[in-house]
Amino acid sequence: MRPDTPAENVDHTAEAARLERTAGLYPEDAEALLLQAAAHLELAGDRPAATALYDRLLSSESSLDNPSLVRALKASNLWEYGHEAEARAIIDGIRTASPRDPAAWVIAAEALESHDELEAAHETFTEGARLLLTDVPEPPYSTHPLLFGRHRVRRMLGVSHDDWDTLADALHTSAITLDELHDPKRVWALGSDNPAELKAEIVRLRAELGTYREALSRPFPVAVLHWPADELAELLEAYPSLSAEYSSHEQHLATIEASLRELASSGTPNLGIVSGTVPSYEAFAASEGSSPADPTLLPQYATTLAARGRAVAWPPQKGAVCWCGSGNPYETCHGTPAPLD
Ligand SMILES: [Zn+2]
Ligand SMILES: [Zn+2]
């Protein structure tokens, strides 16, 4: 099963409209769908329309899972088109509210950082880290951007490492170390003798910032479709033509893990798994005016589940059980280093 990866040239305005329609079909998932619609509108450059969507979500704030994240995204968007005072006021409100969600802290701190408010960005990252990482032995993946962003800002401020910076270095697994990536000498020491190189470094740091921002609000998490054993059996009994896609349940599980590893090794961020059920797949096919027997619907079904906020992040957190439902730790199940053939 190949995930339905988004094309380079997405019509963001059309995608936003499609997501808004889908939100009408699945009101229980409206928050995830409308946040993604707003991200598309931002990418389309229609920031006022994105603000209108954030306001629409915030008008029913009590029903939101993560109102602080919506407010942070709204502030970040507002600041991008000249509404600095309003953005600052919202960010101050988020800091006061002390949300338990790392993404709200990261978006707020990065909004400050991208407008050169490094001290305030540092304070915001630190407040978030203190709240979410005090006495936490294994920081969840969702908190890594908090540590990496804090590390970046502290390097730019020329502050020496503390324990959280050391932790950030240990958690960062890409080929380039965080210290190399965030080396302030590469940024600031160049100022006098090589402005071109300085400029290039700033562009690179900004790009890194953009990558984190994109990973958090990426319009579509790249999700692979997983059928639990009983659902797969039911699916193939009802629609035998789909057997061409799935030779066995065991092979299906191995293919999921292999696809995700391939995507991860090619640098695709924000990977996940969505679990299908036959009734929800049939309902999806009906809403598309198509037959469940059509295999081309499968990736669209996965994408729609992901857009509805149903994706479970992959890989699982260290020590967590495997995504396949075996109940065994991921490291000794589908997470074993050897490829599963
Ligand atoms: Zn470091
Ligand atoms: Zn497994």
What residues does 122 pair with on adjacent strands? none
Q: Tell me the helix, strand and coil percentages in the chain, rounded to 5.
A: 65, 5, 30
Do both 36 and 71 map to the same domain?
Answer: yes
Do both 236 and 249 map to the same domain?
Answer: yes
Higher-confidence position of 340 and 153: 153
Give percent of the chain with pLDDT exceeding 90.
50
Asked whether residue 177 carries a pLDDT value surpassing 60, the answer given is yes
Question: Mean pLDDT for the chain?
Answer: 84
Average pLDDT (274-290) is: 91
Q: Residue 117: what are its φ and ψ, rounded to 5°?
A: -95, 70
Q: Tell me, in angstroms, the distance from the centre of ligand 2 to residue 329's CA.
A: 8
Do both 167 and 254 map to the same domain?
Answer: no
Q: Which amino acid is at 230?
A: D
Note the pLDDT of residue 203. 61
Task: Please report which ligand is nearest the Cα atom of 273.
Answer: 2
Q: Given pLDDT bands bounded at 50, 70 and 90, which one contains residue 340?
A: very low
Do both 232 and 310 map to the same domain?
Answer: yes
Do both 194 and 168 map to the same domain?
Answer: no
Asked whether residue 145 carries a pLDDT value surpassing 60, the answer given is yes
Q: Tell me, in angstroms, the distance from the centre of ligand 1 to residue 88's CA.
A: 29
Domains in the chain, number: 3
Note the pLDDT of residue 215. 54
* 1 found inside a domain: no
Q: Tell me, in angstroms, the distance from the centre of ligand 2 to residue 35's CA.
A: 31
DSSP string over 96-125: HH--S-HHHHHHHHHHHHHTT-HHHHHHHH
Q: Tell me, in angstroms, the distance from the centre of ligand 1 to residue 165's CA.
A: 5
Last residue of a domain, one of 163, 192, 218: 218
* 341 found inside a domain: no
Asked whether residue 65 carries a pLDDT value surpassing 70, the answer given is yes
Asked whether residue 197 carries a pLDDT value surpassing 90, the answer given is no
* 122 found inside a domain: yes
Residue with tokens 């915001």: 124
Q: Tell me, in angstroms, the distance from the centre of ligand 1 to residue 161's CA.
A: 7
Q: Tell me, in angstroms, the distance from the centre of ligand 2 to residue 324's CA.
A: 4
pLDDT tens per residue across span 68-119: 999 999 999 999 999 999 999 999 999 999 999 999 999 999 999 988 899 9
* 258 found inside a domain: yes
Note the pLDDT of residue 213. 55
* 256 found inside a domain: yes
Average pLDDT (29-48) is: 88
Q: How far apart are CA 336 and CA 316, in angstroms?
A: 12
Smallest CA-to-CA distance from 75 within 85, 65, 63, 66 is with 85
Do both 82 and 62 map to the same domain?
Answer: yes
Asked whether residue 2 carries a pLDDT value surpassing 50, the answer given is no
Q: Given pLDDT bands bounded at 50, 70 and 90, which one contains residue 298?
A: very high
Do both 156 and 236 map to the same domain?
Answer: no
Note the pLDDT of residue 147. 94
List the structure tokens of 243: 């057997």
Give percent of the chain with pLDDT exceeding 70.
83
Asked whether residue 187 carries a pLDDT value surpassing 80, the answer given is no
Q: Tell me, in angstroms, the distance from the centre of ligand 2 to residue 322's CA.
A: 5
Q: In what order do the strands lie in the sheet with 222-226?
A: 222-226, 271-275, 312-313
Task: Please report which ligand is nearest the Cα atom of 162.
Answer: 1
Instruction: Among 1-5, 60-64, 120-124, name the most confident range.
Output: 120-124
Do both 177 and 194 map to the same domain?
Answer: no
Domain that holds residue 192: 184-218
* 2 found inside a domain: no
Give this prediction's pTM.
0.72
Task: Please report which ligand is nearest the Cα atom of 167.
Answer: 1
Q: Tell me, in angstroms, the distance from the centre of ligand 2 to residue 287's CA.
A: 32
Do both 64 and 49 map to the same domain?
Answer: yes
* 192 found inside a domain: yes
- Residue 112 is part of a domain; what is its CATH number? 1.25.40.10
Smallest CA-to-CA distance from 33 within 213, 221, 276 is with 221
Last residue of a domain, one of 161, 192, 218: 218
Note the pLDDT of residue 92. 97
Task: Please report which ligand is nearest the Cα atom of 172.
Answer: 1
* 338 found inside a domain: no
Are 56 and 34 spatial neighbours (Cβ–Cβ below 8 Å)?
yes
Lowest model confidence (mean pLDDT) among 13-17, 48-52, 269-273 = 269-273
Residue with tokens 């790009």: 207
pLDDT tens per residue across span 153-175: 998 888 899 999 999 998 876 65
Note the pLDDT of residue 317. 83
Task: Please report which ligand is nearest the Cα atom of 152.
Answer: 1
Angle at 328 between CA 323 and CA 333, to 5 degrees: 70
Asked whether residue 53 carries a pLDDT value surpassing 60, the answer given is yes
Last residue of a domain, one of 199, 218, 237: 218
Note the pLDDT of residue 191. 43
Do both 55 and 165 map to the same domain?
Answer: yes
Largest alpha-carbon pair distance within the chain? 71
Do both 207 and 168 map to the same domain?
Answer: no
Do both 77 and 120 map to the same domain?
Answer: yes
